[in-house]
Amino acid sequence: MAAPRTGGCLCGRIRYESAGEPVFSLQCHCRDCQRQSGTAYVAAVRMPAAGFRITQGEPKRYVSRSDAGNEIARVFCGACGAPLYVQVSTRPDLVGIRASSFDDPSWFRPDADIFVKSAQPWDHMDPAIPKYDTYPPGRAY
């Protein structure tokens, strides 16, 4: 079995490891992701929650509602503010980890652009990646 991927926040207080393989890799262009990231979209990868653990520090959570009306917890470092992952009440088996919070994010390959209905006109998207107005069928949070 491959070694767990490791990652953490900007200041280094929070560290995590994530074992297993990506379930779904996405670029989300919804307004919540735009606001939280301060830019055009969020690149994230849904990984098995069973293989995920915080190995150092105690992150903070901000809980709101997803577009589908489910409770979504955005987990971040309280010291540096770096976003780490999201967890949705209806899918405790998954964590949606921010691609660039991994120590090596270079392996990330988006399966889809989602919530493109909210994308900004200055957001340049790769035409080769499948696009969905909201969630792809069967992938709703």
Task: Please give the residue ranges that form the binding site for Zn ion (CB under 5 A).
Answer: 9, 11, 13, 28, 30, 33, 77, 79-80
Task: Pick between residue 39 and residue 50 the one whose CB is nearest to Zn ion.
Answer: 39
Q: How far is the CB of 2 from Zn ion (least distance, A)?
A: 26
Minimum CB distance to Zn ion smaller for 4 or for 15: 15
| 113 bridge partner residues | 27, 131
- Least Å distance, CB 123 to Zn ion, is 13
- Nearer to Zn ion among residue 7 and residue 22 (C-beta): 7
Cβ-proximal residues to 104 (8 Å cutoff; 6+ apart), any chain: 5
One DSSP character per residue, 58-93 reads --EEEEEE-TTS-EEEEEE-TTT--EEEEEETT-TT
